[in-house]
Every structure is written in structure tokens, then in C-alpha cells.
Amino acid sequence: MPARFKTRSCAVRVTAAAAFAALLSVAFWVPESSAQESRLQEVAPGIWFRLGERDQGHCNNTIIEMADYLIVIDANFPSGANLVMEDIKSVSSKPVKYVFDTHHHGDHLYGNPVWTKAGATTLAYHTVLQEIARYEPQGWQSAASSRPDVAELGLATAEPPMEVFSQIPHVIEDSTRRVEFHFFGWAHTRGDGFAYLPNEGVLVTGDAITNGPFNFMGHGNIGNWPNVIERAKRLRFDKVLPGHGPRGGREVLDGQQAFMREIHASVSSAIGSGQSLADFVTMTDGSPTATSIKLSAAAQNWVGPSFPLQVMFTYEEISQGKPHGEIVGGK
Ligand SMILES: [Zn+2]
């Protein structure tokens, strides 16, 4: 757990770098071997899901084959980008033309220079640029101090997406396939983009949807998160490719939504009954280590070691009356 969350008052003033350190700690907590030949799983003809190496902080990726080129969802960290490029060679010789950054976090966007150097065009919803302006260069510099793959690029800050769009859906289409890019509002970040393949029934979610205890809520809007999921659920799909954790079906959105609704309702109820944070979160050496808040069986897949921190973030959002991302990143 991040040591920088020393006290409640410090947490309220948490810096972007500390928030990013928290994100990295979330990505790192489950050791897992990365020694596999190829992690690509074909979920439909010409669409592959790649489970990221959690011990390297990597996100999941999706590769979409078009007639003449490939689209990759998420740039990953630089080390992840290199691994994805290697794995792609086992399934296609087509060039990667587009890389879609689902949001600004390093494990989804810091690999941009690797992809653009290889000739790809990086793409995102336009609010990703605003998130980069809020959280960079601190996030990049923090990552470079602990990650050789970021430091080795020798850059001062993150490379923003080359193209952004504000019209929804943004469509990339050819004779073989239609890919739509959507935005449903602020959940995990203010730039949460989704990729949707209507003909194949595939939804690629970034970190607005995770499948497991991987939710970083520091840059989020916890109260609005279930609304974003509700809008995504209006699409027709049966295959869900999340930002972290294994792929699944629509039940992944249901569980993620239950987790967000329940944590918000439980903390609201505790505050409403006059409790302070210390009444339901235990701090050890300045970090939240335990909580008496309990969620239902429907949400348990999303409850893990970061749960006390998630409860603290929810408390801060509700008690200060603004999305947690505004507490750490401003307007
Ligand atoms: Zn993220």
C-alpha cells in the first residue's frame, strides 16, 4: 500500500504522483509469471485479447484485425508495448495503424512513444489530453524513477495521443469490420474511452471496467461510476474485455456496478449515521489497512487488498462533496 497516504488530512491533499504510485501498487500486488510464449486469446475471428503481466504492471490489450492493418487497444507501459508487438507477430503480419489509449494512466498510455516510433497513430477521446495536463509530468517522472522501461525512453513527460475525437461514436470502418469508440462519462478517469465492435458483440472497456480487485479510484468519480456502466450496458455485446483481470461476459459489468454502488451506499450510510473515517477504517503507519465496511457476495470479486484505501477515497469524495479526481487533480 502507498506509504504516502500518511494521514487523512495528507490523503486529502494527495499529489498526482502519490495517486499514481497508488495506481502502480494496485497493478503490482499479485505476482504472476510473465514467462509465456504468447498470451493472445482469440475471442472472435481476427480479435485477440491479451492478458497483461501483473508483475510488470501491464494492462490488458486487445488486437483487432482490419483488412489491411491492425488496431491495438491501449498502448500499455513501454515494456508491455514491446511484448504486445512480439505477440502480434504470431498472429498477423499486418502493420499496427492505430493504438487507442482508453485513458491517461501510465499502464495504458506510457507506451505511446514505442508505437508511434513503429509508425502507428495514437488515438483517444479528447478529455484524455486534459487529464494529461492535470497529472503530467509528475506521473511520468514518478514512473521513470521506478521503471527502467519508462526511464530508458529519455523523455520528460508522457507522449499525448496524436489524434483525439469528441464526436461519439468515433468510427473506424472498412469492408471487413466496424469499430466504434465511445465515451459514457467520468468513471475511472475523465477520459474513459471504450471500444465497441457491434457485429462481433465485443466491448473493450479500459479501466472503467475491471474483472477483479483492480479498481484505482483516486482519479475517479465514484458516485457517477455506476451511471457510466449503465450507459455501456445499453450496447449489444456478450464479450467483455476489461482493462485488468480475465475476460468475461456482461456479468463483469454487473459486478463492477454492484461494487461501486455498494461501496458508495455503505460509506454514505456510515457518514449519515455520524461516523468519522476512523470509525470504519483502520490506519497502520499512516495507511488504510482494514475496514469494517462489508459488501455483498455480488461484489466480492472486486474486493481485495486495496479495499480499505478504496473506502477511504469514497469517504473523501462523499464528505468533500466532489469527485475524488477533483480532490487530487483539480477542476
Ligand atoms: Zn487506469
Q: CATH class for domain 8-329?
A: alpha beta
Distance 189 CA to ligand 1 centre (A): 7
Residue keyed to cell 495507511: 287
Distance 273 CA to ligand 1 centre (A): 32
Residue 21 φ/ψ, nearest 5 degrees:
-60, -35
Q: How many CB atoms sit inside 10 A of residue 273's CB?
A: 8
Distance 45 CA to ligand 1 centre (A): 28
Distance 207 CA to ligand 1 centre (A): 5
Flag whether pLDDT at 119 surpasses 70. Answer: yes
The protein residues having their C-beta less than 5 angstroms from ligand 1 (an ion) are 105, 207
Distance 33 CA to ligand 1 centre (A): 22
Residue keyed to cell 523523455: 155
Distance 188 CA to ligand 1 centre (A): 7
**What are the residue ranges spanned by the domains of the chain?**
8-329
What pLDDT score was predicted for residue 38?
62
Report field, pTM of the whole predicted structure over 0.75: yes
Distance 103 CA to ligand 1 centre (A): 7
Distance 59 CA to ligand 1 centre (A): 9
Which three three-digit cell numbers place residue 17? Answer: 504522483
Identify the band that residue 26 occupies on the pLDDT scale cut at 50, 70 and 90: very low
CA dihedral (313, 316, 319, 323) positive or negative: negative
- DSSP letter string over 102-138? SSS-HHHHTTHHHHHHTT-EEEEETHHHHHHHHHTTH
Span 222-265, pLDDT tens digits: 999 999 999 999 999 999 999 999 999 999 999 999 999 999 99
Span 172-216, pLDDT tens digits: 999 999 999 999 999 999 999 999 999 999 999 999 999 999 999
Distance 77 CA to ligand 1 centre (A): 12
Return the biggest CA–CA distance within the chain: 61
Span 150-162, pLDDT tens digits: 999 999 999 999 9
Distance 176 CA to ligand 1 centre (A): 31
Distance 2 CA to ligand 1 centre (A): 16
For the chain, the residue count is: 331
Whether 308 contacts 171, CB under 8 Å:
no
